[in-house]
Amino acid sequence: MNRAAPIAGSYRDPAGGVHRLGDRILRTVADDYDADFTAALRTGLLDRFADDGRIVAFETLTDAPQSLGLTGASRVLEHPRLPFISHPYEWSFEALRAAALHHLDLHLSAVEGELTLSDATAYNVQFVGTDPIFIDLLSFRPYREGEIWAGYRQFCEQFLNPLVLCAATGLMPNAWYRGRIEGIATADLARLLPWRARFSRRILLHVVAHAALESAAPDAARTKQTASASLPRASFLNMLRDLRAWIAKLHPKKGRSLWSDYTTTCSYSDEEQAAKKAEVAAFATMLNPKILWDIGCNTGEYSLLALKSGADYVIGWDGDARAVDAAFRAARAEGARLTPLVGDLANPSPSQGWGQAERAGMQERSNADSALALAVVHHLLFGANVPLPQAISWIVGLAPRGLIEFVPPTDVQVRGMIARRDGVHHPYDREHFVAALTQAARIERSTIIGPSGRELFWYDRSR
Amino acid sequence: MTRKTSKSRLAEPILLGAVFLAGTAVAPAWAYLDPGTGSMMLQLMLGGLAGVMVVGKLYLKRATDFIRNIGRRRHPE
């Protein structure tokens, strides 16, 4: 008998859980929640949301839960697999904002149809390209007149506060969010906001007053007061609409980004760029990658090119959140199947959370059949002191095939990096590069793209 | 002498305001996650504020209508 195994991130909600059975993604509906789920289904909203691509598609299986090794469940649903599961701390500002708006819009539509969402966790939103999609069917349940918004605090911590932090201070929230995976606490944000930001009515309410109320210890009277708390429907809808209007207008405060301007300030000629593009296009055309990881994707220029040339889906990674934001905007403008994510390549997302397994790490999630690693190896070597063989074997480990660029030590940027080191660094030249790559994979072909000596290597470790 | 634990100085007036503005109907929080007492209080306050604004607008309209009517009575068509 095939037995479905629970997915580590799905344990909190007693309404059910997500399981993996081979390649299939199954969701159980717990006995105790079945009445609520049936009521939610009867509204017809879930089917409509799924048809519109606002929530993940689902199908009720006729198999008895026990036959799949699942107990305590009244029924089992099956979802199609998404291209990739990313975490909110890997999203750029634009992505987090798109997810927040998607969540609010879905909640507003749900309440109109007499349903509500039982929580507001950002981890319930995923991306297909740059389109957000809600994945937790069991969050829907009938709306009860006058109930408070149970997920409000969670919405603030996981969506609103990171966005406000970035809009008010220009700080990118990713590192903090990654360290505190439940999001940014309202009290913490309230302490950091510049005084000017506090004059905003919404910040005053949702951050300053909210933090003050949280800091008040819950005595018996307050507990009694909130136990009988009621939020009229009109007020609830106003709250959702007002948050939506606010978030739609938030933008990151201006700040410096080295890499989001890189494509306009890079150190090599137009001819070399054209040759590099031709090689990337040839790679994508010949291999037709199903999932391509663009390691060090910057503003997504080569990811988009790969998509146009034959790649089906690209996950981009870059440590510069502002460059990733630019990539997100570019991908959205083209409706491209590119999901650019923020990730420090020298310190990728770890497996963390409950049991150190709740949120899988970057490498653990690698589903790439191909990789692009353009002008990135020297950054690992000079920026993070990673020896060449380790940097190359890490990249090759992420995907069985790939295109990897060697930037010679004579390149202007690399020369600058070397000069600052006073020449003291791990060995870095073509000979060592080729030796390290040969150690990790087979070199299928190499192309020098111009007089600077930049060279692109196709590797394959699958044969 | 007992010392009060440190709290935000804003908390008490806001809390009093929230309690004052809060509704009275009973509707438990149907949730597996803890909505947080402070977050619930804020919603009561927001709900209350919205209510106050609706009532305020109503009275404002009555007042402006009243003044307009005075004007009309003085200058009959």
The torsion defined by the Cα of B11, B12, B15 and B19, in degrees rounded to 10, comes to 180
* Residue A179 three-state SS: helix
Residue B9 phi/psi, 5° resolution?
-65, -20
DSSP states of B23-40: ---------SS---HHHH
Restricting to A residues 191-230, those with a Cβ less than 8 Å away from any Cβ of B are 205-206, 208-218, 222-223, 225-230
Cβ-Cβ contacts under 8 Å, A124 against chain B: none
Cα–Cα distance, A255 to A92 (Å, whole number): 14
User: Are the CB atoms for B20 and B44 separated by under 8 Å?
Assistant: no
Pinpoint the alpha helices (H) of A344-411: 377-378, 384, 388-398
Q: Strands (DSSP E) along A272-414, which ranges?
A: 292-295, 314-318, 338-342, 370-373, 401-406
* CB within 8 Å: B39 and A210: yes
Number of H helices, E strands in chain B: 2, 0
Asked if the C-beta of A278 comes within 8 angstroms of chain B's C-beta atoms, the answer is: no
Closest chain A residue to the Cα of B12, Cα to Cα: A216
pLDDT of residue B2: 43
Question: For an interface test with B, which of A118, A147, A148 has the most B Cβ atoms less than 10 Å from its Cβ?
Answer: A148
CB contact under 8 A, A147 and B10: no
Q: Smallest CA–CA separation between B71 and chain A, in Å? A: 35
Query: Which residues from chain B sit within 8 angstroms of residue A156, using beta carbons?
Result: 39
Q: Tell me what pLDDT residue A259 has.
A: 58
Q: Which of A186, A213, A241 best probes binding to B when mutated, by most B CB atoms within 10 angstroms?
A: A213
In angstroms, what is the C-alpha Rg of chain B?
A: 21
Partners of residue B37 in chain A, C-beta under 8 Å: 213-214, 216, 218, 222-223, 226
Looking at the partner chain, which of A13, A148, A206 has a beta carbon nearest the beta carbon of B40?
Answer: A148
User: Do β-strands A314-318 and A292-295 pair in parallel, antiparallel, or remain unpaired?
Assistant: parallel
* Interface contact flag, A154 B42, Cβ < 8 Å: no
Is B58 within 8 Å of chain A by CB? no
* Structure-block tokens of residue A322: 């502002």
Q: Do A205 and B32 touch (CB under 8 A)?
A: no
Q: What pLDDT, on a 0 to 100 scale, did the predictor assign at position B12? A: 56
Q: Bridge partners of A66?
A: none
Positions in chain A whose pLDDT score sits under 70: 1, 217-228, 256-267
Can you say how many angstroms the Cα of residue A239 is from the centroid of all Cα atoms in its chain?
A: 27
pTM given for the model: 0.89
Q: Which distant-in-sequence residues (6+ apart) come within 8 Å of A29 by Cβ?
A: A15, A16, A37, A73, A74, A75, A76, A77, A138
Centre a 10 Å sphere on the Cβ of residue A447 and count the other Cβ atoms it contains. 16
Task: Please check whether residue B32 touches A, CB under 8 A.
Answer: yes
Alpha-carbon span A378 to A401, nearest angstrom: 20
A383 and chain B in contact, CB less than 8 A: no
Q: Which residues contact A333 (CB under 8 A, 6 or more apart)?
A: none
pLDDT of amino acid B27: 46
> What residues pair up with A339 in beta bridges, in sequence order?
A315
CB of A149 within 8 Å of any CB in chain B?
yes
Largest CA distance in chain B: 75
Interchain contact, B47 vs A231, CB within 8 Å: yes
A80: burial class by Cβ within 10 Å (0-12, 13-18, 19+)?
A: exposed
Contact: A147, B24; criterion CB under 8 Å: no
Predicted local distance difference test score (pLDDT) of residue B35: 86
pLDDT digits 0-9 by tens, A393-452: 999 999 999 999 999 999 988 988 888 887 778 899 999 999 999 999 999 999 999 898
CA distance A370 to B46: 51
Q: Which pair of tokens denotes residue A187?
A: 């009290």
Contact A208 B10 (CB under 8 A): yes
Q: What is the pLDDT of residue B49?
A: 73
How far does the CA of residue B73 sit from the closest CA of chain A (Å)?
38
Q: What residues of chain B lie within 8 A of the CB of A235, using their CB?
A: 43, 46-47, 50-51
| Weakly modelled stretches of chain B, pLDDT under 50 | 1-7, 19, 22-29, 77
